[in-house]
């Protein structure tokens, strides 16, 4: 296995992860955290970079990807949960969101009549996604060798410009980051949703290594971790740099969101040229993410449904994504948030259990106990985000540790896992006693 191949796969994973949200959220953190930027970005990097890379490594430990990972709870759960993950990060949410952000950042500032223009843009955008996704065996070469360097160079240009044009003092931390900047940044890192995407991207990375002759399980995991370090270095550098731009932009005015902050910074540094540069950055980031997700969906569903070929799946994915893209970014986000807050904690718990699985002899009862209680809390959070009336159970949920940090699922997951372990232990002891009595 050549170091060059590991480097290219690491670049590819970086490009697949780096979507629109990865630009918007760090810069928002920067402008809100101010003088508390360092601990805030550290927390963000741990969850925005660390957990996704760990998830990819977890995928390398199983032969059948995310299905086998989730199947340790129950085989049917493995199929259903993984299918839901692919739909959420694919045509139902992540792909349409990325296309919309690419449009709003790179096209909308220069045109009128957004509805018609969005429709025309999405046709061209998804035609390109389809063409790049037709041959997945060349995905690594196409993205790793061409799109990733172009994306990274555009980011470097924006960051270098900030050192010359943005010289205002760093402002005090806002209320959100005033008391616990590290933990606030830690939770904000979830917004990238890359841990969920890792369930799809992980198998692409593992398959790339296997196609290059790396087949021994330990070597696959080791190679995956090496590529992950390349990805982690790239993501961390970009997050820190873009976040710092946000921290420097606080003196320039107030902004509604991360996209507005970046647009303002680009305009200050390079004028209209800066706005175009920002459009290139976001457009490339969104394109690479959409291609990766389309390929992942095509490979997954064509293997699970015999009547669907890979080509037919990517056609369906691009058509559905195009249709949903045209309902608008705000509607897409509002419809998807309840699902995401339900899925994300389950994903984190599954990954954590995968690395600890040998400690409890891969017991399905431990998995089931932890996932059931995690899913219950996630369902509560999802219903609350949807606007449903959950006041009857809120007094009980609010008493859980870390509730105010939106991490109320952590303690139930631990309790559920321990309950499963105790049941497995008791069940084993009962069988041993019965065997002794019969003898």
* Token pair for 249: 């932009």
The stretch 17-44 carries a mean pLDDT of 87
Domain positions in the chain are 3-326, 337-439
First to last CA, the chain: 55
Residue 282 burial (CB count, 10 A): 26
d(C-alpha 264, C-alpha 369), whole Å: 48
Q: Model pTM?
A: 0.80
Instruction: Please identify, in words, the CATH class of the domain defined by 3-326.
Output: mainly alpha
169-191: pLDDT as tens digits:
888 888 889 888 998 888 788 77
Burial of 438 (0-12, 13-18, 19+ CB in 10 A): exposed
Q: Cα dist. 78→24, 43, 67, 74, 208 in Å?
A: 32, 30, 5, 6, 23
Q: How many CB atoms lie within 10 A of CB 216?
A: 9
pLDDT, tens digit, 9 for 90 and up, residues 122-158: 999 999 999 988 876 565 555 555 666 776 777 787 7
pLDDT tens sequence across 280-291 = 877 877 887 788
């Amino acid at each position: 296995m050549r170091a060059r191949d590991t480097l290219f796969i690491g670049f590819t994973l970086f490009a697949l992860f780096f979507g629109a949200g990865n630009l918007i959220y760090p810069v928002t953190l920067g402008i809100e955290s101010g003088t508390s930027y360092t601990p805030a970005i550290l927390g963000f990097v741990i969850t925005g970079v660390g957990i996704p890379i760990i998830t990819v490594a977890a995928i390398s430990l199983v032969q059948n990807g995310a299905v086998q990972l989730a199947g340790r709870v129950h085989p049917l759960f493995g199929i259903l949960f993984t299918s839901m993950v692919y739909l959420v990060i694919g045509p139902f949410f992540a792909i349409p969101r990325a296309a919309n952000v690419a449009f709003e950042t790179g096209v909308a500032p220069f045109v009128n009549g957004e509805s018609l223009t969005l429709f025309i843009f999405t046709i061209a955008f998804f035609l390109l996604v389809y063409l790049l996704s037709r041959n997945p065996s060349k995905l690594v070469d196409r993205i790793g060798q061409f799109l990733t360097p172009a994306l990274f160079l555009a980011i470097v240009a924006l960051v270098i410009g900030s050192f010359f044009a943005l010289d205002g003092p760093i402002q005090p931390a806002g209320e959100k980051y005033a008391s616990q900047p590290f933990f606030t940044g830690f939770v904000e890192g979830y917004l990238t949703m890359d841990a969920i995407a890792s369930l799809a991207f992980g198998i692409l990375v593992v398959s790339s290594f296997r196609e290059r002759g790396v087949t021994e399980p330990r070597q696959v995991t080791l190679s995956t971790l090496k590529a992950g370090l390349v990805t982690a270095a790239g993501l961390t550098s970009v997050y820190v740099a873009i976040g710092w731009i946000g921290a420097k932009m606080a003196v320039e005015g107030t902004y509604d969101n991360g996209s507005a902050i970046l647009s303002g910074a680009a305009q200050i540094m390079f004028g209209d040229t800066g706005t175009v540069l920002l459009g290139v950055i976001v457009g490339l980031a969104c394109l690479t993410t959409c291609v990766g997700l389309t390929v992942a969906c095509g490979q997954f569903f064509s293997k699970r449904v015999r009547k669907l070929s890979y080509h037919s799946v990517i056609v369906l994915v691009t058509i559905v994504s195009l249709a949903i893209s045209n309902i608008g970014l705000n509607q897409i986000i509002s419809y998807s948030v309840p699902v995401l807050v339900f899925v994300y904690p389950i994903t984190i718990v599954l990954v954590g259990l995968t690395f600890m699985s040998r400690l409890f002899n891969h017991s399905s009862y431990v998995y089931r106990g932890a996932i059931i209680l995690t899913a219950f809390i996630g369902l509560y959070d999802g219903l609350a985000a949807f606007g449903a009336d959950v006041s009857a159970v809120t007094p009980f949920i609010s008493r859980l540790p870390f509730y105010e940090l939106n991490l109320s699922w952590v303690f139930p997951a631990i309790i559920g896992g321990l309950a499963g372990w105790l049941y497995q232990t008791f069940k084993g002891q009962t069988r041993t006693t019965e065997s002794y009595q019969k003898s």
